[in-house]
Amino acid sequence: MKKYLNHKLLLGFLSLLGLSLVSCNEDLEEVPLDFIAATNAFQSPEDIETGIVGLYSLSRDWYSNDSKQSFTYVALGTDEAYFGEDPGGGTLSNWDTDVNPTSDLPVRFWTQAFDLVYQANTVLAGIEKVEFSDESLQNKYIGEARFFRAFAYRILVYMYGDVPLVTQPVTSPKIDFERTPKEEIFTLMEEDLDFAAKNLPTRGNEDQPGRLTQGAAYHLLSETFLGQEKYEEAVKAASHVIQDYGYALMTERFGNQNNYFGGENAYYDLFTMNNHNLDSNTEAIWVIQNDPNIVGGGQYSGERAFGPAYYRMGNTPDGYPALLGDVYNGSYSGYYNALSRPVAWVRPTNYVAYHIWREDWDDGRNTEANIKRHFYFDNPASAFHEMEIDWDLYEERSSPLKDTAQYIYPYFMKVAAPYEHFKDLARGGGGYNHKDLYAFRLAETYLLRAEAYLGLGDYTNAANDINTVRARSNATPVEPAEVDLDYILAERARELYTEEWRMITLMRLGNLVERVRKYNDNPQNPGLGIEDHQNLFPIPQSEIDLNTENSLEQNPGY
């Protein structure tokens, strides 16, 4: 079933594009040729299915795309990480140069998010024109399309604030967009997600792995309520997920159980190849599908992004190659299949790598299997063979900055697929793997509800939800009096680092700037030069310039 969905993810969207080439019907009615429209792309429920799968493809690009844009959301430029390969000039090493009206990132995120909005609107318009014999199928498709529209507007409203509200297909060039107050955007998101929550399948009844369910809609709805400080509504939405659909945290080992590093546990198994979609995995709410066996099946560059470039560290203190690597085609490769070939795009700040673990170092999420902290010289010719790598063993190093920012630092192994690489085996997979990814899982739902309880001043229930998550990892319970927003953000980092779109979370909370200044310890630019106004991205200047028949007012400070 999974392969079928992935096949559709690629070919379905290409087919959607191809359908736009239909030029006429037997009455010679004119139809558009240069864009996808409800009039030319959708003639049957099967066409709608194709369009819906195209939306899954667009949404997957936020998680599996090779262009690193998803990783910017995940951690870079926040309190959690800086660009380790080049701290002085890599992506989001300086907010002034990387986040301004003419820089690339604001344009890419704006364009990609609105593309999903436009395509969702096109599919919704197509559904209106197609006759369905099964009303529940029609409503399921509407629910999926409306979910994706809300998903896209989630990105836009938190990153840019007031943005154009578009609910109909754009069928011709439009140059009179106007910014809509974010309160109206939130209203649309609530309506879209409420419909989705009532009409999508329940857990276990979706067509294929990776298809949306009511649980996913309620999860996102809970966060949407939090974005408006509607705490009671957020509690109710999260409680639907936690109580009504059979979800549960995975507390015992399950599925494919590897034992490579020591300290493997249920948390480790959550991220093991082929465990995400198991029926027994009751924690998965929405899983992004990747597959190595089909063209366009998707791949994940998590290793390349998050791991340290250990293979670049050079020699042992006595002058031998420090790491020989695995044997491939009869010779040492310099790379390990267990670690792949990382590039250190996303180096964790000391806050994430060390500080949040200090009070409970034995937290099960901090075992060697989950965060590899120890690396060893591997060359029998050296007197240092099998000793732990320690930079103090060297009299001097030519690259002390690179030693800890790029070569060796704590490696969060949830992004890795040890011994499960299918391509570029000479380099341990080249930094890419094909494991699936969690968009939403239940641990985050508990933390969303904890945040809502905190907003209500209910510290006891907030602590209860946090402790439900911590108990899985045998972590010390938090007392109600200790719960505040900083604690919840620390717990989100412990549980969700590499998964959470941290920039979105902090922009939603309005504390991105202060936390970047406090915790981002980029050694060449502490605090990343972030300015007070940069809790929002700028409206791309290109969008303002093209919108000649109306004014798109720029965000303050830009």
User: What average pLDDT values come out for the chain (558 residues) when binned by 10 residues?
Assistant: 41 36 32 52 93 94 73 88 97 96 95 96 96 97 98 98 96 92 98 98 96 98 98 98 98 97 97 97 97 84 96 98 97 98 97 97 98 98 98 95 98 97 95 96 99 98 98 98 98 98 98 98 98 98 96 96
* DSSP conformational letter for 271: T
Q: Phi-psi region for residue 95, left (φ > 0), alpha (ψ -120 to 50) or beta?
A: alpha
Q: Per the confidence metrics, is the pTM higher than 0.75?
A: yes
What length does the chain have?
A: 558
Contact 85, 343 (CB under 8 A): yes
Token pair of 490 as six digits: 């620390």
Q: Shortest CA distance to 462 belongs to which of 226, 300, 214?
A: 226
Q: Which long-range contacts (CB under 8 A, 24 or more apart) does 101-105 make?
A: 101/538, 101/539, 101/540, 101/541, 101/544, 101/554, 101/558, 102/540, 102/541, 102/542, 105/69, 105/72, 105/537
CA gap 125, 199 in Å, rounded: 18
Q: How far is CA 228 from CA 183, 197, 232, 452, 486, in A?
A: 8, 19, 11, 11, 19
Neighbouring residues of 28: CB distance < 8 A, sequence distance ≥ 6: none
CA gap 211, 60 in Å, rounded: 12
CA gap 227, 75 in Å, rounded: 20
Contact 148, 57 (CB under 8 A): no
CA gap 323, 428 in Å, rounded: 14
Strand partners, 327: 332
Residue 283 Cα to chain centre, angstroms: 17
Q: Shortest CA distance to 260 belongs to which of 368, 363, 353?
A: 368
